[in-house]
Amino acid sequence: MGEPVEPTAAQGNFRYFRNSPTEATLPLTNQPQPPQINIVVPLYNEEASFPELVKRLTALMDSEPLRITAILVDDGSRDATPRLMRQLALNDERFQAVFLSRNFGHQLALTAGLSYIDATEAVLIIDGDLQDPPELLGRFYTELKNGYDVVYAVREKRKENFVKRTAYNAFYKILKRISYIDIPLDSGDFSLISRQVADELNQMPEASRFVRGMRSWVGFNQIGIPYERTGRAAGQSKYTLRKLLGLALNGIFNFSEYPIKFITTLGILTISSSVIYFLVTLIKKLVYDTVPEGFSALLFVIILFGGVQLIAIGIIGEYILRIFFQVKNRPLFIVRHVIKNRQEQNG
Ligand code: UDP
Ligand code: MG
């Protein structure tokens, strides 16, 4: 591993990406031409679907009249994924392998992959479990050529269980309602984005990342293409409930001021209701001369407002946490090492 070390995302500030070394590798006379398309795939314990993934990607690379390379990111897998990736990347220069130092989560693994792009035209983002069929590249690319900068996939049908589907639907509806950007309903990270958009994403230094929201935030010309989301090729979902909830919270708190405003609304509502209650009691006393009773009602109100206050603090806490992570200014992920052009390199 005595190879010269390329500067990477992990070593520096995100803002360096605009002049990333990848842009310096424009074709010199005898050098291989850079790819037109990068396919970025985050992988966490995907040994079961890996062979199928490679088969489909290779078939795509062979059939499309485009120069395509894949950037596979190992997100600290504990199974055979890193070994399989290594084998592949050492044998086929169209596959680049990026190994993270531990599990950083899907969004950061994706971010890591994006920091290694070198395609001249566009970047396709897919999941490693083949729920996002890479074969749609051709259709997406046509839209890119029609002048769109972001072509994202919209899930028409989901072959997931009822509870998960309902939860997803509810989440996307709420998000659409309350966020200050126009996040398209039911679109995931599966998309083809132009190199320019990818560079813009790489410029964004935010620590808590919700890539589909950031992708919408950047603007440009965007178009959604409906597709049927199939089940995974193999294995179980790598999103634990906790990770999924974290993703949902990032979507909401990173792109909405609504929760904070909601606290104020809640305050106004509770004050109004207490004023009404006070007036009712006063009238009862003056007109009917009855004294209010009700120990349990009192207890109920105290507990209710205790809860309301804790929720309000929790909401503020969510925003403060995000400030906390941001000001620490740590690198978003750490790259252990990279295999590119069939050569091992340090991160
Ligand atoms: N993934 C990852 N890190 C994680 C969890 C998931 O890189 O901590 C990858 C995973 O290998 C897959 C993609 O993110 O390629 C989507 O994950 P998954 O299919 O488990 O999510 P779901 O489709 O169930 O929402
Ligand atoms: Mg999946």
CB of 200 sitting under 6 A from ligand 1 = no
Question: Do residues 275 and 130 both lie within one domain?
Answer: no
Question: Do residues 119 and 184 both lie within one domain?
Answer: yes
Residue 243 in domain: no
Question: Do residues 201 and 273 both lie within one domain?
Answer: no
Q: Nearest ligand to the C-alpha of residue 126?
A: 1
CB of 131 sitting under 6 A from ligand 1 = yes
Residue 250 in domain: no
- Cα(227)–Cα(140) distance, integer angstroms: 11
Q: Which helix (H) or strand (E) holds 100?
A: strand 95-100
Residue nearest to atom 8 of ligand 1 (CA): 105
Q: Which among 44, 54, 108, 124 is the best mutation to test ligand 1's pocket, defined by most ligand atoms within 8 Å of the CB?
A: 44
DSSP codes joined into one string, 22-77: HHHTPPPTTSPPPPSEEEEEEESS-TTTHHHHHHHHHHHHHHSSS-EEEEEEE-S-
Question: Do residues 121 and 79 both lie within one domain?
Answer: yes
Question: What pairing do the DSSP bridges indicate for beta strands 150-158 and 122-125?
Answer: unpaired
Question: Do residues 277 and 147 both lie within one domain?
Answer: no
The pLDDT score that the predictor gives to residue 28 is 56
The pLDDT score that the predictor gives to residue 347 is 65
The residue range of the domain holding 307 is: 258-327
Residues of the chain with pLDDT under 50: 1-5, 7-24
The pLDDT score that the predictor gives to residue 257 is 87
The pLDDT score that the predictor gives to residue 29 is 60
Question: Do residues 315 and 338 both lie within one domain?
Answer: no
Residue nearest to atom 15 of ligand 1 (CA): 128
Residue 245 in domain: no
Question: Do residues 314 and 336 both lie within one domain?
Answer: no
Residue 117 in domain: yes
Q: Which among 52, 238, 240 is the best mutation to test ligand 1's pocket, defined by most ligand atoms within 8 Å of the CB?
A: 238
Q: Which of 159, 91, 161, 96 is nearest to 129 (CA)?
A: 159
Residue 9 in domain: no
Residue 339 in domain: yes
Token pair for 248: 């949902």
- Three-state secondary-structure class, residue 346: strand
Question: Do residues 46 and 79 both lie within one domain?
Answer: yes
CB of 103 sitting under 6 A from ligand 1 = yes
Question: Do residues 73 and 218 both lie within one domain?
Answer: yes
DSSP 211: H
For residue 274, count other CB atoms closer than 10 A to its CB.
Answer: 12
The pLDDT score that the predictor gives to residue 1 is 41
Q: Separation of 237 CA from ligand 2 center, angstroms?
A: 6
Q: Separation of 311 CA from ligand 1 center, angstroms?
A: 30
The pLDDT score that the predictor gives to residue 52 is 94
Q: Give pairs for 321-328: CB < 8 Å, separation 24+.
A: 322/207, 322/208, 322/253, 322/254, 325/207, 325/208, 326/206, 326/207, 326/208, 328/207
Q: Please state the atom number of ligand 1 nearest to the C-alpha of residue 105.
A: 8
CB of 238 sitting under 6 A from ligand 1 = yes
Q: Please state the atom number of ligand 1 nearest to the C-alpha of residue 76.
A: 3
Question: Do residues 61 and 206 both lie within one domain?
Answer: yes
CB of 129 sitting under 6 A from ligand 1 = yes
φ, ψ of residue 290 to 5 degrees: the values are: -105, 140
pLDDT digits (tens, 9 = 90+) for 279-304: 888 888 888 888 767 777 788 888 88
Residue nearest to atom 1 of ligand 1 (CA): 106
Residue 84 in domain: yes
- Cα(312)–Cα(306) distance, integer angstroms: 10
DSSP 169: H
User: How many domains does one find in the chain?
Assistant: 2
DSSP 210: -
Across 164-292, the runs of DSSP E, i.e. the strands, are: 187-194, 222-229
Confirm if 208 and 250 have CB atoms less than 8 A apart: yes
Question: Do residues 195 and 321 both lie within one domain?
Answer: no
Q: What is the dihedral of CA 50, 56, 60, 63, to 10 degrees?
A: 140
Question: Do residues 180 and 271 both lie within one domain?
Answer: no
Domain with 127 in it: what CATH number?
3.90.550.10
pLDDT digits (tens, 9 = 90+) for 14-53: 443 434 444 445 555 666 789 999 999 999 999 999 999 9
Residue 128 in domain: yes
- Three-state secondary-structure class, residue 332: coil
The pLDDT score that the predictor gives to residue 292 is 67
Residue for token digits 């199974």? 79
